[in-house]
Each structure stands twice: as structure tokens, then as C-alpha cells.
Amino acid sequence: MLDNLYISSCRKMAAPWLRLALKISPKNQVNYSRFYAILYAKRCLTTRTTNSPQNNKKVFEKNAENVLTYAAVLATTIGYAFYKWKDEIFDNFKSTVSPFLTVQAKGLFGGEVNENRDKYNFIADVVEVCAPAVVYIEIQDKKRLDIFTGKPLTTSNGSGFIVSEDGLILTNAHVVINKPNTFVKVRLQDGTTYPGIVEDVDMQSDLATVRISKTNLPVMKLGSSSNIRPGEFVVAIGSPLSLSNTITSGVVSSVNRQSKELGLNKQMGYIQTDAAITFGNSGGPLVNLNGEAIGINAMKVTAGISFAIPIDYAKDFLKKAEMRRNNKGSVLVGMQGAAETVKRRYLGITMLSLTPEILLELQQRNQSIPPSVKHGVLVWKVMVGSPAYFGGLRAGDIVSHINNNPVVEADDIYKVLANTGPVVMTVVRNGEVLHISVEPEDV
């Protein structure tokens, strides 16, 4: 019985060693390991015992010694084979295990890092939906040519977005009007350009529509500005410095910044945002995370303070424009200022009235503005080739007086432009006081 038990144990010990040698040894070297394993098993199985207890004890001790000897020999053989052919063994092991093991880096919140790009790039998702409907608007002067290209000189540029697939584009009024001897060019996202025709203008809300001869265009979805909240994420899309479809993002700082707080002679509220709105962004859309336009980018005061016209004003403007077209050219109700704009002369600047609050903030940010400046308008932009440009006005100038009369708001300059003759402006620039004479053009 003891002999049978011993034989059974030998079989159990020999079999795993044989299987291990067969699995981990390279195919062309497996015979060496197999030889030693078989030799060990055969020696165990062919050992015979007698019924004598003394002989059984001696044989058992002898066989135990043999087991230890052959185990040591077998372990040495396998170790040598493993050392000599370790590279091949590791390759075989990797090819067997790698399909079942994958390594994934964990994110901050327990998710996979590979999923973060798809999960958290919500700005990119908004841009992908909205960008095709945003256009670049360029204003070119028919009478002035670029000395390098010989083409009409670009006097101004801005942005807009398509609100009807038949070619109707919404933009700011100051982007496309008050520029004599000019024509409008519109460039779509695919690079194609079309001449634009200004159809409707509302100076009071600073809105205008431009139409191009193109159909089946992508259309910007219009949202609502009545339910936006402070702190809400927004995306500004436009063409600053002629760079089409430039994206900036931020949050809504205020949902109803009244025009009086900005020193503007208008009865409307603005959306204040810290999304960067620079030159050329004017007229582009301010978009929420649903891909809906909730505002029209209008102006930047300083870094982190920009303003947009609420889209609800634009919806009302578009309804009135549609009524005018249906009535075949009757006067559009709500176009305040459109008629008197024709009477004014062209200066070629975009202005912002300086309230005491805005002026104080500018003085704190810019030490070159002396404390003696108590009122004026900030020259936000000067159109290239305009009378103001040739007269020497520059963006960033503060006009404190015009024809020796104090300037408190932009309307003070508009009143002077209704008269004839040159205008003399007292300008503060980099801490210096300058007197600049400009001859406005008749429109």
C-alpha cells in the first residue's frame, strides 16, 4: 500500500514539471527538459519494494533522497534553459497574455483619460455646430487702392452670421455704414467671397442686415437672451484682425448692463462678458452651450470687459425688416437714426463714452491717463483711410474737447459733425495733450 501511495505521489510530482518544461521551453529545445522529466518519472515508477517494514523504510528513505536529487537536477536544467532562452520565453509569454490585459490611465474623477477629450470638450462641440454660419465682412474703398496689390483698400472689417439660408446676414451697423465710397465683401467659411448689399440699418440698436446672392447656406440658430444667467459659459466667434472664425470663451458677467452705465445714448441693455471681443469680432455671435446665438458682439472696453447686444433686440429688428420687405420698401419702423445718419459727415471712428466709473477703471489700469481727465470719449477704433486716420487720431485716444467745447458723450461729437467746416479735437494720448484738426467727409 505504501508502495502504491509512493508511486501515485511520484506521478503527481512528475506531471507538473513535465507540463512546465513543455510550455516555457522553446520548441526546438523542449527535448532536453522532456528527457530529464521522463527520466525522473521512470525512476520513480520502476522502483519496487518488499513487504518487510525495514526494507520499506530503507527504500522509502532512498527514494526520498532520489526525489530530492532529481528535483534539484530538474530545477537546475529548467533554470539553465530559462536563462539561455529567456528572450524567446518572454516573447511567447507576452504574445499569450497581452490580448487579455489592457492598461488604462485613470482620470481625476475615476474615469478613463481617453474619454476626457470627448466628455469635456464642450466648447469644441459648440464651435463645430456654429462656425459654418459665421462670416467675415470686409469694407473696401472704391477710390483708394492698396499700393502693394493695386486692389481697393480695406478700410474696415468685421463679422456677421447667417440668419436665413437665402443669404441674409446679421451684423453691427457700425461695421457696414458711415463709410462713403465703399462696398461690402462677405467671405464664407469655405473661403468663397460674395458682394454684399446692406438692406436694413437700425442705428439705435447698432444692427444691420447684409444680403449675398447665395442660397442653401448654414443658418445660426437664434436663442433667447431673456433667460441667460450670470456665470453661464459663452463662446464668442468672429474675425479679429481678419483672422476668420477665431474662438474665444468666457462667462456672462452681467445679463443687463444698461447703456447709460456705458455712457451710450441708447435705451437698451447689454450682455457683459469676459470672453475676448477684439477688433473684427464686432457683428459676430455670442453663443451659449446649446449652440444658439444669444447676443451680437459689439465692443470691448478693456481686457475682461466686453459687451454684446442681446439677441432679443435682433429678433425684433429682423421682424421689422421682414415687414418692410413684405410691404415692398415702406419705411422700416424702428430705424431711428438711419435718416439723420445721412446728414452727418463721416469721421471714421468708433467711440465709447467714458462714464466716471469707466474712466476711473481706465486710470487705474493705465497710469498714462492723468487724473485731470474728468470726461471724454474713448476712440475705440479708427478706420484705415478715413479722415480721422489721415488727421492723426489713433485707437486709445481720449477726446476731451471738440472745437473748444467739452465732450461728455459721443453725441457731443455727432452734433458737431452735423455742421460744416473742420473740427479741432483736444486729445489725451500717453499722458500728453494734443490738438488734432480733422476735415470730415460729406456722405
Identify whether 206 is a catalytic site residue: yes
Q: State how far the Cα of 335 lies from the Cα of 324, in Å rounded to an integer.
A: 11
CA angle 248, 253, 257 (to 5 degrees): 115
Identify whether 282 is a catalytic site residue: yes
Residue of 206, 225, 253, 400 marked catalytic: 206
Q: What 3-state DSSP class applies to 88?
A: helix
- Nearest alpha-carbon partner for 137 in 284, 330, 265, 267: 284
Helix (H) or strand (E) segment spanning residue 221: strand 221-222
Spatial CB neighbours of 384, under 8 Å, sequence gap ≥ 6: 153, 154, 155, 156
Q: State how far the Cα of 298 lies from the Cα of 304, in Å rounded to an integer.
A: 14
DSSP 307-367: EEEEHHHHHHHHHHHHHHHHTTSPPPTT-TTHHHHHHSPB--EEEEE--HHHHHHHHHH-T
Taking residue 275's Cβ as centre, other Cβ atoms within 10 Å add up to 24
Q: Count H helices, E strands: the chain?
A: 12, 19
Residue of 25, 156, 174, 244 marked catalytic: 174
Residue of 33, 282, 353, 400 marked catalytic: 282
Which backbone phi and psi does 152 adopt, to 5 degrees? -55, 140
Q: Which residues are catalytic?
A: 174, 206, 282
